[in-house]
Amino acid sequence: MKDAKSSLSKAQFNGQQIKTHSAYDITRKDLIATALNKPLGEDGDDDIAPLSFYLGKTDVKINLVIMVFVWLITVFDFYLISFLVNTFDQIYYSSIASGVSEFVAQAFGGIIFERIGVRKSLCISYIIAAIGGFLMMTYGLNHQGEWIFPALVLIMKFGISSAFNITYVCHKGCFPTLFATSSLGYCTFICRFFTAFTPMLAQVSQTISTILFAVSSSIGAVIVLNIRDINEEDYIYDEKKSASAKKTK
């Protein structure tokens, strides 16, 4: 790779040296303009909004805050139940129930998301997970040898796996198209820090872990109902109009 870069830097075309760019030379506008098949430069990126344009919109900020909590709850609970399965008495059957429910829930989450939208689909998924969590907390942990125990694991994992799938695919509908990927990056960056504690928490106490799972899923079912609808036409950016508006203010 070093040899290739060295040779490319010395290459010439029509007597002129070829100008190469590093990753640090590429701006966000360059990437978006390339993706949208627009020319680079001042004439080609007038309608490419900076991040500050989206972060200045009330609906975007509200949705971003909500989605941070959605990601935090979903990813934390998903990995918590995955590690918690290894501490149960029926570890073999619980693992099978966990794997089967996750497989089915991935398809289920996508179907209900397409049919009823992000708010209702996430709310239903969290409610399923919360029901499983409260049943596990009040009955399952004290009856780990019974046949119903793996079924409770299945319910918990089914609900949170469905929410996990929806959380990944819903950003396009919750944010303007050109901000959706950035919002995904913000959410995943924040939630990954907290999920690092799930293995330790699962080993410390089954009761505390189950309570956290049930309560956080219940909270998630409520906050997702406040997600705002995004109309793409409201986020058309014109750099010249934006600059003139700032001068007027």
pLDDT digits (tens, 9 = 90+) for 2-15: 455 455 555 555 55
In this predicted structure, what is the pLDDT of residue 62?
A: 92
Q: Find the length of the chain.
A: 249
Mean pLDDT, to the nearest integer, of 121-140?
94
pTM listed for this prediction: 0.77
- Per residue in 159-174, pLDDT (tens digit) is 999 999 999 888 888 8
- Per residue in 94-128, pLDDT (tens digit) is 888 888 998 999 899 999 999 999 999 999 999 99
Asked whether 97 and 154 are in contact (CB, 8 A), the reply is yes
**Beta bridge partners of residue 17, listed in sequence order:** 12
Mean pLDDT, to the nearest integer, of 81-96?
85
- Per residue in 231-244, pLDDT (tens digit) is 877 777 655 455 44
Task: Locate 27 and state its tokens.
Answer: 């701006």
Asked whether 43 and 175 are in contact (CB, 8 A), the reply is no
Contacting residues for 110 by C-beta, under 8 A, at least 6 apart: 165, 166, 169
